[in-house]
Structure 1
Amino acid sequence: MIKVYRKTATIKAEQFDGSEEMIDKYHVRCDTEYMLSDDQLKYSMGPYQIETLEGFLNIGVGDWIATGVNGEHWAIADDVFKQAYAELPVIPKAVADYMNDYNNLINLSFHSALYEAFDDLFAASQDAEHWIEHNSDVFARAWLDGYQVEE
């Protein structure tokens, strides 16, 4: 029987722009003898290759370079990346602090956590109350998938 799975790990990724900075950062090979015209680049990956666990693989400008937990890299075509990955939500520090405080309370249901967030954490702050009231879907995604803290 076929079962349906979802990815549970987060990754770090950066869109490759062909700059010298990114070429150096990711040790990308650039075959300068194989440079293509703009017309040819539409139909080719281009002259760039990145070292992966499977060896050197082609990467084009606009593709994504993903970095795994052990520092390994792999290339992901832009269209595939956009279908498979979504950026983690960005939440205010007060919300992140709240989530960290309750992270170890296994028996606390999401429903309870949401309402406690309204009642306890945001009671003193109109801005935070406004944020959670208008961003409950972001709060839910952050609770389930992880988040980035607003700077």
Structure 2
Amino acid sequence: MKVYCKQPFQAEQFDGSSKMVDKYELIDTGIILGTHSSPELYLTGSGKVDIGDWIATGIKGEHWAIEDDVFKKMYAELPVIPKYVSDWIEKCKNGGTSIGDMLCSERRPEKMRDWMSLAPGTYNFDQRRYSKCQELVARAWLDGYQVEEDK
């Protein structure tokens, strides 16, 4: 047996709004069966969707429902990194640099070194922050990332 990694996908938590019902073309079986006391919404091909469940969208635009507790146990958001970090990752990937060399302190741009190693608002080295940022950048390299919005 082989084990595979799932590719990133988008997911949105269902809030019960008409907007989301329309967006995902949910079917209200209560209306169809004439027993509409409280809506029972279904996502075509996926099953019942309750408020708080997640609706995932795959690369081909397909949708499937995931219960909230299952979603929280199985999935994590892509890391959020500053633009200059994403620029460095892309430069290294496109230039054939290994992940180890990309993380090498001597090779990284100064702004990225400071972001990874200095406690916010100080010039003091922060080992915990450094370790956390190294892991974050490695995850971004391997899994993909989101670019932090400008403040």
Would you say 1:114 and 2:103 are equivalent positions?
A: yes
Residue 47 of structure 1 is matched in structure 2 by 40
CA contact 2:79–2:146 (8 Å) conserved in 1: yes
Say if 1:86 and 1:56 are closer, same or farther in 2 by CA, change over 3 A.
Answer: closer
How has the CA–CA distance of structure 1 residues 57 and 111 changed in structure 2, closer, same or farther, with 3 Å as cutoff?
A: same
Residue 94 in structure 1 maps to residue 92 in structure 2: no
Aligned partners of 2:52 and 2:77: how far apart in 1? 17
- Aligned mates of 2:37, 2:62 — CA distance in 1: 27
Q: Displacement of 1:6 after TM fit?
A: 4.5
Could you tell me which amino acid in structure 2 is paired with residue 47 of structure 1?
A: E
The code of the aligned residue for 2:106 comes to D
Is contact 2:46–2:64 with CA below 8 Å preserved after alignment?
A: no
1:19 partner amino acid: S
2:102–2:108 CA contact under 8 A, matched in 1: no
Q: Do 1:132 and 1:139's aligned partners in 2 also have CA atoms closer than 8 Å?
A: no
Q: Secondary structure at the match of 2:69?
A: helix
Q: Spell out, residue by residue over 1:33-79, the C-alpha distance to the aligned partner (whole angstroms, 9 max, x if none).
A: 4444xxxxxxxxx611112xxx3611111110000111000001111
Q: What's the Cα RMSD here?
A: 2.0
Three-state SS of the structure 1 residue aligned to 2:94 is coil
Query: In the alignment, which of 47, 62, 77 is matched to residue 57 of structure 1?
Result: 47
- How much has 1:140 moved relative to structure 2? 1.2
How many pairs does the alignment contain? 131
Does residue 132 (structure 1) correspond to residue 116 (structure 2)? The answer is yes
